[in-house]
Amino acid sequence: MTETPFAITLDVGSSRANHTGSWRVERPVYVDRLPPCNNACPAGENIQGWLYEAESGNYEAAWRKLVEENPLPAIMGRICFHPCETACNRVQVDEAVGINAVERFLGDLAIENGWKLPSAGADTGKRILVVGAGPAGLSTTYHLRLLGHQVRLVDSAQKLGGMMRYGIPAYRLPRPVLDAEIARIIAMGVEVQLEHNVVNIDRERTDGGFDAVFLAVGAQLGHRVNIPAGDSTRVLDAVNFLHQVADGDAPMLGRRVVVYGGGDTALDAARTARRLGATEAVIVYRRNQEHMPANGEEFGQALGEGVTMRWLSTVNRFEGDRLILEKMRLNAEGFPEPTGEFEELDADALVLALGQNTDLSLLDQAGDVVVNNGVVEVQPSMMAGASGIFAGGDAVPADRTATVAIGHGKKAAHGIDAFVLGRTPPIVERHELATFERLNTWYYSDAERTVRPELERVRRQSNFDEVVGGLTEENALFEARRCLSCGNCFECDNCFGVCPDNAVIKLGGSKRYEFDYDFCKGCGICVKECPCGAIEMVPERI
């Protein structure tokens, strides 16, 4: 009879049979890997961490885990373009986990139940000036208060919120939601100064006795181009247009409105024009849909509301009630080139949505701050000058999204904290990425993603009611439970159950497991059967 190469163990009461540790060439070890959703989140949220709490129904704990990094979950659950979902490993099984929808559910639940943010930290006696009350400014204010620093938040507008209030229409972000989440931050003890233009950052800092400054001015200057027009009053800037609408002072556009541009602001302007009574809202874009930078979900909503597109076209001039368009073609590199062919398009108004610039004139006297191509150069700590001026959001070279700005605010707060206290900014270690091939998806059944409800087209064309609805508790719980827990043990007991040598010790109390290497023979079954890829085999130590 052939002898088996594996030692046989028996578990009789508390005793164990033959030791097998000397048979191994590799041993299993428990590891923690970085989930791809966490890795892709510009705000640095521990997404897997708060989903873990949410899937057990512990919603307040989930919300509190979420706001450790991002104090605006109800807002971001509406306006974030969720790169976390693009990175989600579940895409390769069926569809991404609805992370953004669960975030919104938690944010709305917190507002409904009156949950408060953590209290401010012990007072350090340090005073910080934050210029700009958009997502970057609000985020850094929140994190600075957690660290115990006093903050004065300054903004030139009548209300807080920056481009979230004055650039994102109410049908995407209802104002009561915006106000509620901002109010929670201010309640932590923040000095607010509205309708105040900072024209000289050095003088403002000196006069106020501030130890550091965070510059979070948004890109609120519309980029202009020279388009000949007989009546210049019929040519509007999209940023100013959306700002006027937010202030309740919408301009008269007429029935036929053309928006020139291909980004999210162009879509917002066209959809807003429809709600203000335009029977035609046409977006003119010089490239094709494949190259359009606007968010795909919002683009689909715009088409559903009757917005139409004129691809591969550029505006040449405005004559009377007609726009003269020149047809374009894409070269081999995908860039548009003129064709010399022209066509006409009826229009009562032209809205320019060609990008935004940031007004950085307040830095003219700040000699150690470098501004290149309209943005501030910063170090990894977000510090722009050795004297303690920091910057983030639209003011620095990065993607101009609210989620990126929130991440900048958090990073800057920790950089400011180190600066004013004379410390070295901490270096954050990152785990190895939890890639899809490390998972054992045999244990997961297909579970189609929950689709968020939308307001019917006929009910949303003449008002600013919110278009995209939220999840019910049942749906939110279902979505949270679709998470694969990539790279991190969630105590499923698989390793404990499949080990043929009883070498896995269950520690209890959320302490996971450990291996008893005196009895582990290194067969690797635990690694293969771990659903989340939280065990790996390493060469045996000699």
Residue 398, burial from CB neighbour count under 10 angstroms (0-12, 13-18, 19+): middle
Query: Residue 519 has which token pair?
Result: 């009895």
Answer yes or no: do 320 and 231 share one domain: yes
Q: What number of residues does the chain have?
A: 542
Q: Where are the alpha helices (DSSP H) in 351-401?
A: none
The pLDDT of residue 367 is 76
The label of the residue with tokens 């010399």 reads 340
Residue 291: inside a domain:
yes
Residue 427: inside a domain:
no
Dihedral of CA atoms 6, 12, 18, 22 in degrees, nearest 10, equals: 80
- Strand 127-131 to strand 212-215: parallel, antiparallel, or no bridges (unpaired)? parallel
The pLDDT of residue 361 is 84
Answer yes or no: do 452 and 532 share one domain: no
Answer yes or no: do 191 and 86 share one domain: no
Residue 122: inside a domain:
no
The pLDDT of residue 467 is 95
The pLDDT of residue 445 is 79
Q: State the DSSP H helix or E strand holding residue 153, giving kind and residue range, or none if neither.
A: strand 150-154
Answer yes or no: do 93 and 186 share one domain: no
The label of the residue with tokens 């974030």 reads 80
Residue 185: inside a domain:
yes
Answer yes or no: do 228 and 321 share one domain: yes
Answer yes or no: do 346 and 229 share one domain: yes
Dihedral of CA atoms 98, 41, 491, 510 in degrees, nearest 10, equals: -120
Dihedral of CA atoms 109, 115, 117, 122 in degrees, nearest 10, equals: -170
Mind listing the pLDDT tens digit of every residue in the chain (542 residues)?
Answer: 333 333 333 343 333 444 455 678 899 999 999 999 999 999 999 999 999 999 999 999 999 999 999 999 999 999 999 999 999 999 999 999 999 999 999 999 999 999 999 999 999 999 999 999 999 999 999 999 999 999 999 999 999 999 999 999 999 999 999 999 999 999 999 999 999 999 999 999 999 999 999 999 987 777 777 787 766 678 999 999 999 999 999 999 999 999 999 999 999 999 999 999 999 999 999 999 999 999 888 999 999 999 999 999 999 999 888 999 999 999 998 899 999 999 999 999 999 998 888 888 888 878 788 888 888 999 999 999 778 999 999 899 888 899 999 999 999 999 999 999 999 887 888 899 999 999 998 888 788 899 999 998 888 878 999 999 999 999 999 999 999 999 999 999 999 999 999 999 999 888 999 999 999 999 999 999 999 999 999 998 76
Answer yes or no: do 177 and 166 share one domain: yes
Answer yes or no: do 286 and 398 share one domain: no
Answer yes or no: do 500 and 379 share one domain: no
Residue 287: inside a domain:
yes
Listed residue (124, 267, 126) closest to 209, CA to CA: 126
| CA separation, residue 354 to residues 228, 365, 386 (Å) | 16, 29, 34
Which of 329, 355, 381 terminates a domain? The answer is 355
Answer yes or no: do 502 and 445 share one domain: no
The pLDDT of residue 360 is 87
Q: Is 96 helix (H, G, I), strand (E, B) or coil?
A: coil
Residue 323: inside a domain:
yes
The pLDDT of residue 10 is 37
Q: Give the Cα-Cα-Cα angle 48, 101, 79 (nearest 5 degrees).
A: 105
The pLDDT of residue 13 is 36
Residue 519, domain CATH = 3.30.70.20
Cα distance between residue 533 and residue 89, in whole Å: 12
Answer yes or no: do 241 and 345 share one domain: yes
The pLDDT of residue 8 is 35
Which of 355, 389, 406 terminates a domain? The answer is 355
Listed residue (269, 277, 229, 223) closest to 246, CA to CA: 269
Q: Which domain holds residue 300?
A: 224-355
- Indicate the DSSP class of residue 26: E
| CA separation, residue 184 to residues 72, 141, 378 (Å) | 9, 12, 29
Query: Cβ(97)–Cβ(476) under 8 Å?
Result: no
Residue 373, domain CATH = 3.50.50.60
Answer yes or no: do 109 and 230 share one domain: no
Residue 347: inside a domain:
yes
As for how many domains the chain has, the answer is: 4
The pLDDT of residue 2 is 39
Residue 63, domain CATH = 1.10.1060.10
